[in-house]
């Protein structure tokens, strides 16, 4: 068995904000992977996948964005944080920290849902060698499967505003299955979700980005029972990364031995049959292609 070392990480965002993070690493890593959460999901959801990656030789870093789970303040009322803070301040710092877990070794990212959006806004977005996306699509309400669209409209225009009025945040529970969300995260997410191009339609206001310069390969996986991240939503998101070679695989849960996966079930033990897929692909990109190149030129 590979020796796995799990440690809490003292992670500071680019502005000094303290983020809750954990490294799960083999004693002698051959690569590093930053695992970035979906909106409102705590880092603990990804512990099993990170441990599996460590068994495969990948030093894994998991973390909570500001305002989420272990990185949330004692009170969320008045707390200011939006998705751009997650991208430019939190994700960027976490990417540097992941690279430091395996100095001189390849670096890759694995993003769940919004975790695949943040990359293009980070100032170090061109550093990793490959990106795996898990149920990463735009949040445009018209790209959801038809059965999900009424729920989305209810969340954006009735439930969400009511929760903000009562609590100053989107609390856990009720129509929201994640951890509590900061007010500005909800409002920015809702703004983007009304437009077919999602955040790409706001690039002029959002400022500098690298979506047209990220050239490392992207492999995206989504699941046939996920009404939120539909085929269209995943494909639309990939098109925003215009310079990257990319592919989207939409698979049936039964093909990896799971009864149900939906939007966030890929990280549960019941879906462990899926876990080899991103790491097999990382191995192919990072190591098999290098070995082929050596055999041709050596």
pLDDT at 295 over 80: no
C-alpha gyration radius of the chain: 18
Taking residue 77's Cβ as centre, other Cβ atoms within 10 Å add up to 10
Distance of alpha carbon 181 from alpha carbon 219, whole angstroms: 28
Residue whose C-alpha is closest to residue 267's, from 30, 9, 83, 52:
52
The count of other CB atoms within 10 Å of the CB of residue 291 is 10
Q: Which long-range contacts (CB under 8 A, 24 or more apart) does 189-196 make?
A: 189/39, 189/83, 189/139, 190/156, 190/160, 192/138, 192/139, 192/140, 193/139, 193/140, 193/141, 193/152, 193/156, 194/140, 194/141, 194/156, 195/140, 196/140, 196/142, 196/143, 196/236
Mean pLDDT computed over every residue of the chain:
95
Q: Is residue 31 a contact partner of residue 108, using CB atoms and an 8 Å limit?
A: yes
| pLDDT 10s digits, 82-100 | 999 999 999 999 999 999 9
CA distance 245 to 218: 6
CATH number of the CATH domain containing 120: 3.40.50.1820
Question: Can you give the pTM of this predicted structure?
Answer: 0.95
Cα–Cα distance between 264 and 41 in angstroms, integer?
9
- How many other CB atoms sit within 10 Å of the CB of residue 244? 19
What's the pLDDT tens digit per position in 202-217? 999 999 999 999 999 9
Domain span including residue 137: 4-297
**Cβ proximity of 263 and 113 under 8 Å:** yes
Between the alpha carbon of residue 108 and those of residues 33, 55, 61, 87, 133, the distances in Å are: 5, 16, 11, 16, 11
Q: How confident is the model at residue 77 (pLDDT cuts 50, 70, 90)?
A: confident
Tens of pLDDT, residues 8-20 = 999 999 999 999 9
d(CA 92, CA 118): 9
pLDDT tens for 149-162 read 999 999 999 999 99
Q: Which region holds residue 77: left if phi is over 0, alpha if psi is between -120 and 50, else beta?
A: beta
CA dist 235 and 94 (Å) reads: 26
Domains identified in the chain, total number:
1
Helix (H, G, I), strand (E, B) or coil at 293: helix
Q: Please compute the mean of the pLDDT values over residues 127-141 and round it to a whole number.
A: 98
């Amino acid at each position: 068995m590979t020796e796995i070392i799990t440690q809490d990480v003292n992670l500071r965002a680019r502005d000094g904000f303290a983020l809750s993070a954990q490294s799960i690493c083999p004693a002698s890593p051959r690569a590093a992977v930053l695992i970035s959460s979906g909106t409102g999901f705590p880092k603990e959801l990804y512990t099993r996948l990170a441990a599996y990656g460590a068994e495969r030789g990948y030093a894994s870093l998991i973390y909570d964005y500001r305002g989420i789970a272990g990185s949330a303040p004692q009170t969320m009322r008045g707390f200011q944080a939006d998705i751009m803070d997650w991208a430019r301040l939190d994700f960027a710092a976490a990417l540097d920290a992941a690279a430091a877990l395996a100095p001189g070794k390849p670096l890759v990212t694995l993003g769940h849902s919004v975790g695949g959006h943040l990359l293009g806004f980070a100032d170090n977005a061109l550093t990793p060698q490959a990106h795996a996306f898990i149920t990463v699509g735009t949040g445009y309400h018209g790209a959801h499967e038809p059965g999900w669209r009424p729920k989305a409209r209810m969340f954006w225009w009735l439930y969400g505003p009511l929760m903000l009025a009562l609590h100053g945040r989107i609390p856990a529970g009720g129509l929201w299955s994640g951890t509590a969300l900061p007010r500005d995260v909800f409002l920015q997410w809702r703004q983007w979700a009304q437009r077919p191009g999602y955040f790409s339609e706001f690039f002029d206001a959002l400022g500098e980005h690298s979506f047209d310069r990220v050239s490392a390969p992207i492999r995206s996986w989504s699941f046939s029972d996920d009404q939120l991240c539909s085929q269209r939503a995943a494909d639309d998101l990939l098109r925003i990364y215009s310079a990257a070679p990319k592919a989207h695989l939409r698979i049936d849960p039964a093909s990896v031995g799971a009864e149900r996966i939906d939007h966030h079930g890929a990280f549960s033990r019941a879906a462990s049959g899926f876990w080899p897929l991103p790491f097999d692909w990382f191995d192919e990109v990072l190591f098999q292609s290098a070995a082929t190149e050596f055999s041709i030129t050596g």
